[in-house]
């Protein structure tokens, strides 16, 4: 099969790789759609010998021994090839597996190729009525977002206001999932500097804060708040995290989702006295997918607005350039 090869310096070529044969407990997936993720920036800029793509949806076309999934089953692929038997996995915390076998698209060939081999236990079947491009929403958009919000709610259950730092695809997912999990009337402020994404956030029901024209503090006050209950940082930027933690009220919580830069804290003044919390949230657990699928079934029209661009795999270079230029929501590569 011909697959995209991430050469580095923002260039994607095409190479040939053999189509794998599934071994015991494995499935061969014909990929139909794979969404671009900001975490692939490093592969785009620095190159990768692994075929990237970790938000894949496709159809089972072959199965190894010791499997039970019928040929022709559509579904999505979970990022982490978890072991299933360690302490974390036994508790269902598969995103914190202690003996992980790899990450699809990072240490194992992923979904920008036409076919990929996956362990059966990380394949999640979906309804045939759901287009596979939209099925990719189950992963980072719904799964990662819902997991992060629920992490925050464990610390601060009485959330009456929430702010999202960064209106990229995951930030837009946080906005949408807050509306679905906490109710449409829950105010969701969302801060960014890209007009396209702020306009999309407003269409999804968020209160945009344009950081090109005002400070975060001014934007929060203009929206009618003196302080915020729950903040979620998807940007991974120090400046964003420092600004938003200062806007948390007493008992407020900051959930860090975006990988990247640092956060400095005066522990006594910023954490102990106001009883604030800072949490990390990494991807989501495989057992959260059934609930995510129910949300997608009932709110497809709303959630699918986050997908703004679709490209054929032959146009993947253009797709990545457009995505990292910023004027998109979620971008999906279709096969």
Strand partners, 248: 228
CA distances from 198 to 44, 243, 325, 327, 330 (A): 25, 18, 15, 10, 14
Strand partners, 278: 254
pLDDT (0 to 100) of residue 86: 98
CATH 3.40.50.720 positions along the chain are 144-280
- Alpha carbon of residue 54 to chain centroid: 10
**Residues ≥6 apart with Cβ < 8 Å to 106:** 50, 52, 54
CATH 3.90.180.10 positions along the chain are 2-140+284-334
Question: Are the CB atoms for 305 and 175 separated by under 8 Å?
Answer: no
Distance CA 17, CA 272 (A): 55
- Cα R_g (the chain), whole angstroms: 20
The H-assigned helical ranges of the chain are 41-46, 87-90, 132-135, 145-155, 169-182, 195-203, 216-222, 238-245, 289-298, 300-303, 316-325
Residue whose token pair is 């964003």 = 240
pLDDT (0 to 100) of residue 153: 98
Distance CA 161, CA 288 (A): 24
pLDDT (0 to 100) of residue 146: 98
Name the CATH code of domain 2-140+284-334 (choices 1.20.1530.20, 3.90.1150.10, 3.40.50.10490, 3.90.180.10): 3.90.180.10
CA-wise closest residue to 200 among 131, 141, 140, 150: 141
pLDDT (0 to 100) of residue 304: 98
pLDDT (0 to 100) of residue 203: 98
CA-wise closest residue to 230 among 175, 284, 292: 175
pLDDT tens series, the chain, 335 aa = 999 999 999 999 999 999 999 999 999 999 999 999 999 999 999 999 999 999 999 999 999 999 999 999 999 999 999 999 999 999 999 999 999 999 999 999 999 999 999 999 999 999 999 999 999 999 999 999 999 999 999 999 999 999 999 999 999 999 999 999 999 999 999 999 999 999 999 999 999 999 999 999 999 999 999 999 999 999 999 999 999 999 999 999 999 999 999 999 999 999 999 999 999 999 999 999 999 999 999 999 999 999 999 999 999 999 999 999 999 999 999 99
Helix pair angle (169-182, 145-155), 10° resolution: 60
pLDDT (0 to 100) of residue 8: 97
Query: Span 144-280: which CATH code?
Result: 3.40.50.720
> pTM value?
0.97
> What are the counts of helices (DSSP H) followed by strands (DSSP E) for the chain?
11, 15
pLDDT (0 to 100) of residue 262: 96
- DSSP code of 247? T
DSSP assignment string, 23-83:
-TTEEEEEEEEEE--GGGHHHHHH--SS----SEEEEEEEE-TT--PPTT-EEEE-SB---
CA distances from 296 to 141, 243, 291 (A): 11, 33, 9
Q: Is 324 exposed, middle or buried (0-12, 13-18, 19+ CB in 10 A)?
A: middle
């Amino acid at each position: 099969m011909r697959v995209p090869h991430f050469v580095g310096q923002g260039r994607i070529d095409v190479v040939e790789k053999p189509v794998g044969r599934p071994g015991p407990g494995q499935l061969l997936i014909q990929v139909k759609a794979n969404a671009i993720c900001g975490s692939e920036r490093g592969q785009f800029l620095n190159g990768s010998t692994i075929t990237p793509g970790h938000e894949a949806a496709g159809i089972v076309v072959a199965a190894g021994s010791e499997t039970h999934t019928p040929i022709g089953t559509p579904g999505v692929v979970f990022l982490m090839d978890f072991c299933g038997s360690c302490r974390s996995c036994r508790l269902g915390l598969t995103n914190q597996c202690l003996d992980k076998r790899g990450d699809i698209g990072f240490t194992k060939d992923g979904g920008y190729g036409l076919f990929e081999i996956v362990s059966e236990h990380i394949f999640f079947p979906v309804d045939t009525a759901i287009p596979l491009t939209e099925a990719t929403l189950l992963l980072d958009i719904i799964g990662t977002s819902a997991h992060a919000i629920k992490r925050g709610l464990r610390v601060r259950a009485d959330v009456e206001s929430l702010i999202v730092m960064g209106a990229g695809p995951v930030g837009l997912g946080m906005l949408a999932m807050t509306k679905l999990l906490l109710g449409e009337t829950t105010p969701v402020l969302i801060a960014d500097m890209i007009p396209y994404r702020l306009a999309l956030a407003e269409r999804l029901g968020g209160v945009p804060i344009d950081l090109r024209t005002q400070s975060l503090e001014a934007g929060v006050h203009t929206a009618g708040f003196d302080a915020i209950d729950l903040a979620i940082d998807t940007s991974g930027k120090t400046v964003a995290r420092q600004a938003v933690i200062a806007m948390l009220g007493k008992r407020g919580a900051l959930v860090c989702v975006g990988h990247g830069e640092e956060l400095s804290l005066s522990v006594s003044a910023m954490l102990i006295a106001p009883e604030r919390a800072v949490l990390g949230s990494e991807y989501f657990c495989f057992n959260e997918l059934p609930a995510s699928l129910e949300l997608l079934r009932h709110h497809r029209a709303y959630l699918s607005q986050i997908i703004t661009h679709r490209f054929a795999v032959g146009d993947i270079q253009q797709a990545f350039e457009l995505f990292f230029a910023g004027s998109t929501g979620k971008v999906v590569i279709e096969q």
